[in-house]
Amino acid sequence: MSAIALAPGLTYHPDYLDRAAQERLLEAVREVTRAAPLFSPRMPRTGKAFSVRMTNCGPLGWVSDVNGYRYQPTHPETGKPWPTMPDQVLKAWKDLSDYPQPPDACLINFYEPSARMGLHQDKDEEEFGAPVVSLSLGDTGLFRYGGLDRKDPTRSIKLKSGDAVVFGGPSRLIFHGVDRITPGTSDLLQQGGRLNLTLRKVRSGL
């Protein structure tokens, strides 16, 4: 299916990954989590755990704890370097990003049926000239997006397994989040839930 422009710089690619590609990517994610187990990021200052568990792959990984949000080259619990990004992830970046350099980080968020992600901006990177590429696996998530101000009006779209979203250009720093997961909308993950892979270029000039 053709790409759909949701806003300037914000593009929705329904069914980017077919079922076979979803299964291959899921197996690649499982390999990543064997080397870099899911952990619970925590809010700065309060230390409250996110409802989403996560891990990373690539040279850098995003972490959050009482000391703040940041990227670092090692897993916060094991202390080991993040696993390399799967080839399929790098291909998605090449297909969708229109950016000449590879991503530095691939965040992998796992949503239990009750998990959500509040409105936020992806602004911990140095390089805002590169887009963010998002891939969905598993149960459908209600993705909400707005503008550059938290108070701007928002719209929502259901992201199902295999869908991709790219936000760059004027939409690179928009507020966005996931309001809820709809259990039972996919049988890709045997235990249910949703995986979201977010590819980012963190460092500028590299």
- Spans of all domains in the chain: 4-200
- 161-204 per-position pLDDT tens digit: 999 999 999 999 999 999 999 999 999 999 999 999 999 999 98
Count of other CB atoms within 10 angstroms of residue 136: 26
- Confidence class for position 206, pLDDT limits 50, 70, 90: low
> Which homologous superfamily does the CATH classification assign to the domain defined by 4-200?
Alpha-ketoglutarate-dependent dioxygenase AlkB-like (2.60.120.590)
Q: Running DSSP on this structure, what letter comes out for residue 29?
A: H
Q: What is the pTM of this model?
A: 0.95
Specify whether the CB–CB gap between 26 and 195 falls below 8 A: yes
Q: Give the integer Cα–Cα distance in Å for 187 and 179.
A: 21
Beta-carbon contacts of 69 under 8 Å, excluding residues fewer than 6 positions away, are 44, 62, 63, 124
Q: Which two tokens stand for residue 117?
A: 């992600």
- Strand 132-138 vs strand 105-111: parallel, antiparallel, or unpaired? unpaired
Across 3-7, 24-28, 119-123, 152-156, least confident range: 119-123
DSSP 82: P
The answer to whether 14 and 163 are in contact (CB under 8 A) is yes
pLDDT digits (tens, 9 = 90+) for 127-170: 999 999 999 999 999 999 999 999 999 999 999 999 999 999 99
